[in-house]
Each structure stands twice: as structure tokens, then as C-alpha cells.
Structure 1
């Protein structure tokens, strides 16, 4: 929260013992603050784009690092996503958000909402995927048969991709990097945006490869 107007109250959101145990085991969870009253709240994080998604009966699967806010009527739980090699777009655990309401997601740039239908599936770079309809079937495959794929994008310029099949949508951001708060960074706010000494290359040496 960066600012607000009106008569509002802010309270911490209670986590059940089960949620705390799950987070300790999986690393996934949400540190939430409950807002009530009448007024307007302005939310932001490191200058990222904020994209509001409507959640319906299909539900939404997303990494908790991308979640900024959600309606109090929505429910979330940690689910396991099969990812043998721990690709960032499909971490071993994700959040499954269910119910009816809105979720505010943070993205690096204006995201692309891709519709998935039974006769039109979608492929996307695993490092660019933000969220998808929970009802979709998801398959992971290498974009190349080069042995370099076992490093993140290796020497090929690409790495793993996700295939979405069924009826729903996939949300993709115009970036193949992790959220700023998850990146391996130097010091200071500027470093989180790849600025400072040696720029992005100096701050993300593990994410950049050259031929």
C-alpha cells in the first residue's frame, strides 16, 4: 500500500496452522493485509504493472510472487505442479485461487492474455508465464534438444516452454525474468531494476548467457 483516501481500517490477516505448515514446506503463501471501510487504496510494488484478473468457477493458478491483492471472498491453497527441473514459470508449488472475485497481479510490462480453446492450444516460454486457468491441462517440454537446455536458456537463447490445453486462458508477461523481488540482485532499489554498476548484466549474471 502506497496511499489511501477515506475512512479505512487495516488489519493483519490470520493464517491457519495448516497454511503456516504448508508455507514452511513449499515456500508458497501470501502475506496479506485486510482492508475494510469506505475509500480508495492505492497499491504498488517496485513500479511494476498491475493487471486485474477476474476469477470465476474455473479458478486461477499463479505463483504467489505475482499476487498483489485479492478480494476477501476468494480462497487460496498451495498445490503441487509437476516440474522436475524447477523451471521458474512452473515452480514445484503454486497457488490455486478459487471462488468469484478479482485478483491484482504484478507483471514486468503490459501482460498478454491468451485465450485457450480445445482446438487452439497455447505455447509460452516458461519464464514468461504468470498465471493460467486452473482447469487447463499443462505440459512442459524443451524448446530445443540441445543439452544446453538444462541450464536456464543455456546457449540456445531459449529453454523450457509450457503448453496449455483445454478451455481458459494463460497470462504471459513481456519478460523472461523472475519478478524483481525474486531476482538475484546487488544492493539498493536501483539494482532490482538492473541498474547501477554494470547494469542488468552485473545484477543478473546467473540469468544472462552469451555465445
Structure 2
């Protein structure tokens, strides 16, 4: 049999994580380690592999129930090669160091089992449209495979060069950054988006680190008013600063 399809053979690499193609991740396991992956993300494997549901502590289950933020993971062990993908999204491998990374759990495809995850409050008073009121903080030393809708933009943040990003397009950022949220409007009522620009909410990042943005965004609510309680859950409010406080 002959076909141009045979040009799409597996990548040969000694690395643990290899981007097989922009939308497919290849992970090599040696039998003594494990990788945690989004449930249902396995598309193929070679060798002897086992897939089990990842245990969640009571505090993790409670945080997930209260905030809606968290990871539904499976633990993959064995010796061989396993391939992961999700809805043909673009895949990017990130090395997490001591500084840590904050990310929306919806964009996590796989990560090393040695990493620690914790739900944190991005904004303690008002929800943030699109990204939600809580995010996932990843700390430790290891690799994380992130997903984006389309090819992303990595923005460097420095003390003399802060970055603004649409709250519905931001994927991840350095946990060391200070984050401020503000509505893109001149009206205190925030009855609609700013004029006829179609823009809603933005996050400002200050400090030293990075901010990862994807070329896609979710339409946030357009009819809400300033307030706490149920109104606050719709991400309407004045500028506030991220306290990076852990949920408990």
C-alpha cells in the first residue's frame, strides 16, 4: 500500500515529552514513572500500559465542587509510548520551575505526576468573565502539556513592560506575576461592552514572567451590573489586585 499518509510516522526522540505534530503529544514511559493526563485523551499507545482514574483527596473534591476548577485526570503507567490529543487543539510543552505557573484547568492536557496542583483565587471579590473566579496553580519541578485553540502568543512581562490581555483569551501566566482585573468600559453601570468595540474584560500582568494568550476567546456576559453576590459572579466590578490566596 502506498500513500502520502506514510510521511506521518512517529517521531524518534529520547525526550519524555515530544510534540508528534502540532496537535498530538507523544509521551515515553520507562516503567518506573507515571504521567497524569486528561481523562479520555489517549488516542494510541505502544507497549504495556495501564490507565487508572487518578485519586482525588477530599479537599480536592471539595474545592472542585465549590469553585468548578480542577482536573479530571487518569494515571498512565507502564513501559512504552502513549499518544494524547484533545479536539485537535495545538499542544505546547512547558517546563515548570520553582516560580510556578497559573493556568485554567481546561487547557491542561497532561503533566508529570510529581507536580503539585492547587486551586487559588485569582480575584477574591469579583469573578472574571471567561477565566472564572478560580484558577489552578501548578508548582514543583516537571513538565506540563498545555492546549490552545490555534497558535498562541507568548508575551514577556518585565517591571518596565506590563502586559494586558483579554480575560477570555488568556491561557496561563507565571504565578509570580501580580494580576489586576478591570472592565474595559468608561461607564460605572457596565450595561454593555465599551461602545461598539466588542471588548469586555482585561487582565493586567505586572512583575517578571510570562503571559500566554491564544487566538480565541469566549463571549462573556454582556448584560450585568456592578454588585456582589450573583452579580459579582458574572465578573462585573472595579479593578482589583490578585492576592494569590489559596482556596480553602
TM-score normalised to structure 1 length: 0.77
Ranges of 4+ aligned residues in structure 1 off by more than 2 Å: 83-90, 146-156
DSSP 3-state at the match of 1:95? strand
Residue range with higher mean Cα deviation, 83-92 or 105-114: 83-92
Describe how 1:138-177 pairs up with structure 2 within 5 A. Answer: 138-146=179-187, 149-151=190-192, 155-177=196-218
- Structure 1 or 2: more strand by fraction: 2
Q: Do the aligned partners of 2:116 and 2:138 also contact (CA within 8 Å) in 1?
A: yes
Supply the RMSD in Å over aligned alpha carbons.
2.1
Q: Which runs of 5+ in 1 are unaligned?
A: 184-211
Question: Structure 1 pair 113/52, CA: closer, same or farther in 2 (3 Å)?
Answer: same
SS in 1 for 2:99: coil
The structure where helix makes up a greater share of residues is 1
In 2: Cα distance, 1:27 partner to 1:99 partner: 23
Number of residue-to-residue matches in the alignment: 179
- Whose radius of gyration is greater, 1 or 2? 2
Farther off after superposition, 146-155 or 12-21 = 146-155
User: Which residue is equivalent to 1:116?
Assistant: 157
Aligned pairs (5 A) from 1:7-26: 7-26=48-67
User: Are the equivalent residues in 1 in contact too, given 2:128–2:181 (CA < 8 A)?
Assistant: no
Runs of at least 5 residues in structure 2 that lack an aligned partner in the other structure = 1-41, 221-248
State the shift of 1:21 in Å.
1.1
Contact 1:83–1:91, Cα closer than 8 Å, also in 2: no
| Deviation of 1:55 (Å) | 0.8
